[in-house]
Amino acid sequence: MNSVSRRQVLMGTGALLGAGLLPGSGLIRSAYGEDWPRPDYMIRAGTNENPWGPSRVALQAIVDSIKVSNQYGGNRRELAALLGSLNNISTDHISIGTGSGEILKTAGLLVAMDKGSVVCADPTYHDLVRYAERAGAKIIRVPVDPETLAVDLDALYKAIRPDTKCVYLANPNNPIPSIIEKNALRDFTLEVSKKCMVFVDEAYFEFVGDPNYASMLDLVRNGNQNIVVARTASKIHGLAGLRVGFGFAHPDLTTRIDEAKTGGLTQIGINAAIASYQDREFQEFTLRQNRESMEIMESMLDDLGARYVKSQANFIFIHTGRDIQEVRELFQRENVMVARPFPPMTDWVRISMAKPDEMRYIAQVYRKLLG
């Protein structure tokens, strides 16, 4: 078949659909589009990755970095300076980790070292919580609102104990792609940070289009000493396999985090991130494709009358009424990987956004299996 250039991919799928080609699959769509053929590979719709991979400029930076991969370190100061410029914050407020996961785990370790507890929503992302628990910290899990599945700030506040050293908030949350209203979150964060660390995980903040959302980075910028905001190059930048992430906090707190970290950044990861954070075109392309994929899934779910959480990220959370381990196995037989179970919500499935044509196939499979 004809080769598909990177330029064609970045221009979108329209021209390829006109030719009957599914990007990346090598499969032919029927003339009238009744069916989307089963791909000859596993569609990765379970781990919230960028299905387009790194940008062109990041790929070039990766190639150029291979020749210095015999060297330790890398342009960490250049990356910190770039992040500081993009976020209007001094570099001493920035800790760079091997993915935001290292920042999360290090914060969890600090809590355990201080013999404190962590308060978090349930369910939520696990890195900080799980690491803190394994290091000996007590975890206080607060269920999300049973009707809206939103993070319940009032309940979280009431759950704080005298020994609580950290309140962890993922915003947007994960696996539930909901957001916390910006004014309520700001008031909560300012009040709770008087008592303990507030860790706001913003791994998916680039995907949010809701005006009721706001980053809490300005609270760090304004000098608050007890707030951490985490970001990552793994999602919109497509660098999950290279492990580059960030924590923004008061210099005293970034110093504590840096002293406790155990990971090691690579030349390749640092240089890829430097390139990607300057490539606005690719970030905007990813957002457009993500919106198209999300619209495909939401349209199908609305047609079925299914219950799901309106997403502000690159994944969707759907109530199936069936055991998710069983659902996973059914999807895998159709060459689709969906996410693991998220207790206690074991009859909800999280599906990551793949490329639009892959999402059309996934929607078709969903109708077949669960419609």
| DSSP for residue 246 | E
pLDDT at position 20, please? 33
Structural domains present in the chain? 6-53+280-370 (3.90.1150.10), 56-276 (3.40.640.10)
Q: What are the start-end ranges of the E strands in the chain?
A: 43-45, 94-97, 117-122, 138-143, 164-170, 197-201, 227-232, 245-248, 308-309, 315-319, 336-338, 348-352
Nearest residue to 354 (alpha-carbon basis) of 53, 34, 73: 53
Sorted by sequence, the CB contacts under 8 Å of residue 126 that are 6+ apart come out as: none
φ/ψ (deg, to 5) at 223: 105, 5
Report whether 181 contacts 195 (CB < 8 A).
no
End-to-end CA distance of the chain: 34
pLDDT at position 1, please? 31
Q: Which residues of the chain have pLDDT under 70?
A: 1-34
pLDDT at position 287, please? 98
pLDDT at position 73, please? 76
| DSSP for residue 136 | T
Q: Global pTM?
A: 0.90
Q: What percent of the chain has pLDDT over 90?
A: 87
pLDDT at position 109, please? 97
